Structure 1
Amino acid sequence: MIGLSAAIGLLPAVASAGPTLDKIKARGTIKVGVGTTPGFFAPGSDGRWKGFFVDFGRALAITTLGDPDKVEFTNSSPQQRLPALQAGEFDVLLSGVTVTITRAFQLGFHFGPTVFYDGQGLLVRKDLGVSQAADLDGATIGVQSGTTGELNIADFFRKSGHKFTPVTIEDTGEFINALESGRVDAITQDSSDLIGKRTQLKKPDDYVVLPERLSKEPLAPAVAGGDDRWLELVNWTVYATVQAEEWGITQANVDEFLKSDDPAIQRFLGVDPSLAQAINLDPKWAYNIVKTVGNYGEIFDRSLKPLGWERGYNRLWKDGGLLYSPPFR
């Protein structure tokens, strides 16, 4: 592909910012839809949002507006989030949305890179004495409406030949209450969500997230279709955090890397501004992301490691995981 790359290098820089970016710049902030799961997104005691997905929102604000604080986070329930994105209430959803073919084709959403490889799990009371999902034959299980969990749990029990009674719950707070009150024997959702919810229970040690995963749940930023430029800005903002980790560039040492003789790192950090100029971005955009929120590993460790999360599939490709960045050329 060397010849093609050389030819592309001769093309003029893209002049159009795209309608979404135009609106963001006119408004002066990015509107981001999030959820409320500890470690992933939650307002702190000072009201400032923090968490794994929140850091990607701040990184996107750096890419587009040059300021990590020019972003507005809004909690949106699983039932509200996709319609709100469709209605233009958000510029991007960073609420743990699973990439699915129906959401892409029927609803017209576009997805950025997977930022968290997850799977559906089950949170159960320890006193049930179960160790796997199949042990829940005949159980009452809470499912949250508006999520992929409804279909996944039905598929699982249908395939296993067991039966269960679903209890559909809309309100996120009631989801936890149903388990604590004994209204349901278990609740099912993405394991990332369940591990966060377990910390919100009055007696978390009385409950356990079963080790098996019932589905693949690749969680990615979601944007409305029709604006390719905006989608690419989301894509490469995520890739910048991954690429930085691949090179070993961190918040603490990024300034040392400004002295690197590697031309690829020089382009990435804006020492050589030619790449950023060709794509109409601030030469320091990737540098500022790493300096402010860190690389992917730092984002993960800061928000999720304290909850007991291991990297697993969310390791770099060279470490046996699934994270991989295309080349910054």
Structure 2
Amino acid sequence: MIRRLAATALLGLSLAGCQRQEAAPQPEPPRPAVSASAAPGYQAAESPTLAAVRQRGWLACGVHPGLPGFAFPDARGVWRGFDVDVCRAVAAAALGDAAKVRFIPIQAQDRFSALQKGQVDLLARNTSWTFARDAGLGLDFAAVTYYDGQGFLAPRSLGVASAEELSGARICVQAGTASEANLAEWFNVRGLRFRPVVAASEDEARRLYESEACDVFSADVSALAASRSVLSNPGAHVILPNVISKEPLGPVVRSGDPAWTDIVRWTVHATVLAEELGLTSRTVDAARETATDPQTRRLLGLEGGLGPLLGLSDDWGYQVVRQVGAYHEIFRRDVGADSALNLDRGLNALWNAPRPGLMYAPPLR
């Protein structure tokens, strides 16, 4: 009996030991390796597009063939403009050199196919972000660089104060653009008649308008301001107060390379953050020596090690601001007070400006 009790006790202890062994916590699987300079706990990304751009040595950027303020070659053949500066900023982030860009002029009807076919790495061509374009073309809109809307350009002599007075008017509009569809929709909803004068390009629409082949010209307000700036007598024309659509403009990339989308997105955000932080292309070098604010130091690559998360160097944000500028510098010189367009910041002001706009960048942390 004693031997049986002892055996039973030993068996119970053995089973209990097995149960304790089975219940013991298993070690966690190893985490993915991260670049030593990247933020701990995050996976560094790889971008096939970035790899191709670096192997090639330059960024292929699709732009408008000639839209004053946004993309146009100057008298010396140097490309200038708001969208051009977006391209240069991405080159500064990706390659460390804003000059390493080749600008490829693309007509409106060819812009998406050029990107889909890999003829360009980035499309920065006053293009509106819409549901169908984003969801149905295999493309991604990385960010909004300019909040716009469709309007109307009319001769002052016409005496029109509102688009509501344009029933029966001949209206020039570019074929194959969101403006063409918006125009028909807006007039139909209001039971107004109009006669579309459809042009193959923006240049042609402007020429038709100036030759009085149509009464008014409809396009994005920024494009109308650009067109007005090159008319023989800009002061004889007025942009009507009506804005009939929302047109968020921004750079476009191919889907399937989220790291490249993030590179373009955060390049835009870097210019906005630089303005928020009071940085400019002229002060950024001094700031790099004296900055104590953590977000400024992260943007300038002094701490945080965030660049490698996108496959970039730690100083990518510093290079963007130093070589191209903060958002307000880009806006002012290309389309704002220092340009022929002289556009107000409006919706493109910072979210915390005295007259707040929509420009807002996520925190860099």
Deviation at 1:278, TM superposition (A): 4.3
- For the pair 1:254 / 2:284, whether they are aligned, the reply is yes
SS in structure 2 at match of 1:264 = helix
Match of 2:60 among 9, 27, 31: 31
Deviations 1:263-310 (A, max 9, x none): 222221112262224443212111111111110001101111222211
Q: Which amino acid aligns with 2:364?
A: F
Deviations 1:140-194 (A, max 9, x none): 1111012100111111111221100112111332211211222111111101111
RMSD: 1.5
- For the pair 1:300 / 2:300, whether they are aligned, the reply is no
Task: Count the aligned residue pairs.
Answer: 321
- For the pair 1:311 / 2:345, whether they are aligned, the reply is yes
Equivalent-residue separation in structure 2 for 1:26 and 1:126 (angstroms): 53
Give the corresponding residue for 2:219. 189
Deviation at 1:312, TM superposition (A): 0.5
Equivalent-residue separation in structure 2 for 1:177 and 1:245 (angstroms): 38
Q: 1:17-96 maps to which residues of 2 (within 5 A)?
A: 18-35=47-64, 36-96=66-126
Task: Report if the CA contact (8 A) 2:45-2:309 is conserved.
Answer: no
- For the pair 1:325 / 2:361, whether they are aligned, the reply is yes
Match of 2:263 among 227, 233, 244: 233
SS in structure 1 at match of 2:186 = helix
Deviations 1:227-279 (A, max 9, x none): 11110000000000000111101112112222112222222111226222444
Task: Report if the CA contact (8 A) 1:122-1:209 is conserved.
Answer: yes
TM-score in terms of structure 2 length? 0.85
Deviation at 1:203, TM superposition (A): 2.4
Q: 1:166-315 maps to which residues of 2 (within 5 A)?
A: 166-258=196-288, 259-272=290-303, 274-305=305-336, 306=339, 307-315=341-349
Deviation at 1:12, TM superposition (A): 5.1
Give the corresponding residue for 1:128. 158
Percent identity between the two aligned chains: 41
SS in structure 1 at match of 2:108 = coil
Equivalent-residue separation in structure 1 for 2:114 and 2:309 (angstroms): 34
Change (3 A) 1:278 1:85: closer
Give the corresponding residue for 2:138. 108
Change (3 A) 1:142 1:31: same
Deviations 1:202-237 (A, max 9, x none): 222222211221100000111111111110000000
Is there any run of 5+ residues in structure 1 with no aligned partner, and where?
Answer: 1-7
SS in structure 1 at match of 2:91 = helix
Is there any run of 5+ residues in structure 2 with no aligned partner, and where?
Answer: 1-37
Change (3 A) 1:10 1:284: closer
SS in structure 2 at match of 1:274 = coil
Task: Report if the CA contact (8 A) 2:263-2:310 is conserved.
Answer: no
Q: Which amino acid aligns with 1:291?
A: R
Task: Report if the CA contact (8 A) 2:44-2:308 is conserved.
Answer: no
Equivalent-residue separation in structure 1 for 2:104 and 2:310 (angstroms): 30
Deviation at 1:110, TM superposition (A): 0.4
Deviations 1:67-111 (A, max 9, x none): 111101122111111121122111111101100000011212100
TM-score in terms of structure 1 length? 0.94
Task: Report if the CA contact (8 A) 2:262-2:310 is conserved.
Answer: no
Task: Report if the CA contact (8 A) 1:123-1:209 is conserved.
Answer: yes
Work out which of the two has the higher radius of gyration on C-alpha atoms and give 1 or 2.
2
